[in-house]
Structure 1
Amino acid sequence: MNNIYLISDIPGYSPQISRLLSMMNYARFTTLESTKNLSVNQLDFLLDSESNSIGALLMHFAAVEYAYQLETFEKRDLNDEEMSIWGAALDLGEEGRKKIRGNDLNYYVDKLNEVRNRTYELFKTVDDDWLYKEEEFWYKKQANHYFMWFHVFEDEINHRGQIRMIKKRLKV
């Protein structure tokens, strides 16, 4: 995170993977900046009965990244045990509103860092050719690993917009 504004080589990773990780790191940096110093009440705040909390969105980022680790590196979906841990965060909605609450910011940051550290380790095991490997993806469409991992941080950027909107409307 020292050179957050550089999309460049990262020691130990191939060039394209380095650039992908650089972009993921910047997305995460801006997410963490937007949630800095939030209280438990602020992390749990709901705009209405249909919205997601900031805490749930942070868990969603970790859950999506974890799911893509399994999808792209292990070629499998989450098992029942993993779904009991990550399911509410993946799906959000009513289950997320009920289950993801009462945690401080450090809890969410620790989960995000735990999953990201695993991503770093997994990316050390592949090279740029792996990014271009195509396979069946959403609704039986072809996608490559590059797109799949782009989607991981694209989803975070999209939901970070929700976080910023929620912060502007906090009533706690």
Structure 2
Amino acid sequence: MSRATTLHSERAYRIEPESQYTPQIGALVEMMNYTRLTTLQAVEGLTTEQVDTVPEGFGNSIGMLLAHIAAVDRVYQMMSFEGRDFGEMDGAIMGGLSMGQQGTPPPTGQSLDTLLAELDAARKLTLDTFTTKDDDWLASRLPAPYDDMNQHWAWFHVMEDEVSHRGQIRILRKHVAPKKKE
């Protein structure tokens, strides 16, 4: 059974916060989990070559977008959980965040499993940290210089960014792994 199928059977079509989270954080987590389910479904079964291909007329590969999604989680962890300045991120995170335009570009030739392992690791840290927070924290502002946003908006944006890029992944998939007509 694939990760997407397993997650679908466990989480789809319900927003029911689990007991380890406060109610609002739990609802956010369920939405983030569903978003991740749809991302996993969008990339399921792709080969390394398909993940690395940048079709003509496009600026990114599916692999680059997956690296970006993981990097966004990492950046918001740094800003939200650690109170660190955006400028303090390492080159690998910046490479993923900027889709290779700054920092160290994510390497090509990574298998889908490798890319998904980084997505899983980044999200695991987010979800584990959420168990130590409460709804008052979720409503609080991020530390300066990001104090114009609150925690809830920041983590909503992480989910929103993934949804946006998942749409791009679906379009790219049609170019790199078209369905065969029977």
**TM-score of the aligned structures, taking structure 2 as reference length:** 0.84
User: 1: CA distance between counterparts of 2:144 and 2:56?
Assistant: 33
- Percent identity among equivalent residues? 38
Q: Which 5+ residue runs of structure 2 have no aligned equivalent?
A: 1-6
Counterpart for residue 157 of structure 1: 163
Tell me how far 1:88 sits from its aligned partner: 1.1
Question: Structure 2 residue aligned with 1:129, among 124, 136, 148?
Answer: 136
Alpha carbons 2:11, 2:33 under 8 Å: kept: no
Q: Which residue of 2 aligns with 1:35?
A: 43
Aligned partners of 1:110 and 1:9: how far apart in 2?
24
Distance apart, 1:48 and its partner CA: 3.4
> Greater helix percent: which structure?
1
Secondary structure of the 2:149 match is strand
Which of 15-24 and 97-106 deviates more? 97-106
State which of 92, 111, 119 in structure 2 corresponds to 1:104: 111
- Which of 116, 122, 127 is the aligned partner of 2:123? 116
Runs of 4+ with >6 A deviation: none
> How many aligned positions are there?
170
Per the TM alignment, residue 12 of structure 1 is displaced from its structure 2 partner at its CA by 0.7
1:52 — aligned with what? 60
Offset from partner CA, 1:3-44 (integer Å, 9 cap, x none): 322111212110000000000000000000010010011000
Higher relative contact order (CA 8 A, sep 6+): 1
Within-5 A mapping of 1:10-89: 10-48=18-56, 51-77=59-85, 82-89=89-96
